[in-house]
């Protein structure tokens, strides 16, 4: 499933900020046998029941939520956050989130927008649809679409940076 289709189908109001939930507040992917997308779960699920908060200056803080009663797992206060992150294979996802946050902050600065006001402006959600942006780019350029996720991420970020450079009049 592509980025836009996933966002529309599985996030609240199709906005991409929060995964949809069932009537009892559980994640829509939580079924009788546990998580239905465990191998492909996003960062928010990998760090659950922790929450990662990164300020614009890069300062990081962590919060904790009480796990939903239907979510299974071993939750304890022993160990470190670093050990938990490593065990959940969350580091590549955290790096990707940080790289996109750098681009997004640059976009807000260049466009004179704030996170709250940017909704329908030049930062339209389709620009953040990695699959759609890469497909359109490869169709125009004649390049083959890369399959490796890290290569796709790098290409997407490069395309996004080029778009910002165009908006800024070529200024990197």
pLDDT in tens, 11-63: 888 777 788 988 888 888 888 878 888 888 888 889 988 989 988 888 999 99
172 lies in some domain: no
Asked if residue 122 and residue 57 are part of one domain, the reply reads no
Residue 64's H or E segment, with its range, is: strand 60-64
29 lies in some domain: yes
Backbone angles phi, psi at 161, to 5 degrees: -65, -40
Domain boundary among 66, 89, 112: 89
Domain boundary among 56, 72, 89: 89
Asked if residue 58 and residue 23 are part of one domain, the reply reads yes
Domain count, the chain: 2
Asked if residue 83 and residue 11 are part of one domain, the reply reads yes
17 lies in some domain: yes
Nearby residues of 118 by Cβ (< 8 Å), 6 or more positions away: 107, 108, 111
Asked if residue 99 and residue 85 are part of one domain, the reply reads no
- From the CA atom positions of the chain, what is the Rg in Å? 18
Q: Check: pTM over 0.85? Answer yes or no.
A: no
Domain region containing 9:
3-89
135 lies in some domain: yes
Asked if residue 76 and residue 125 are part of one domain, the reply reads no
pLDDT in tens, 53-71: 988 888 999 998 888 777 7
């Amino acid at each position: 499933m592509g980025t836009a289709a996933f966002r529309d189908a599985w996030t609240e109001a199709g906005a991409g900020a929060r995964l949809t939930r069932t009537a009892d507040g559980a994640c829509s992917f939580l079924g009788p046998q546990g998580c239905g997308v465990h191998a492909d779960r996003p960062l928010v699920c990998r760090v659950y029941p922790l929450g990662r908060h990164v300020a614009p200056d890069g300062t990081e803080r962590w919060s904790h939520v009480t796990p939903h009663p239907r979510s299974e797992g071993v939750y304890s206060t022993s160990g470190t956050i670093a050990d938990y992150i490593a065990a959940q294979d969350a580091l590549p996802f955290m790096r990707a989130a940080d790289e996109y946050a750098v681009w997004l902050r640059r976009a807000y600065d260049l466009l004179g927008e704030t996170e709250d006001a940017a909704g329908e402006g030049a930062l339209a959600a389709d620009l953040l649809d990695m699959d759609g942006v890469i497909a359109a780019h490869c169709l125009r350029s004649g390049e083959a679409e890369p399959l490796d996720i890290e290569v796709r991420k790098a290409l997407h970020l490069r395309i996004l940076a080029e778009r910002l450079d165009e908006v800024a009049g070529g200024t990197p």
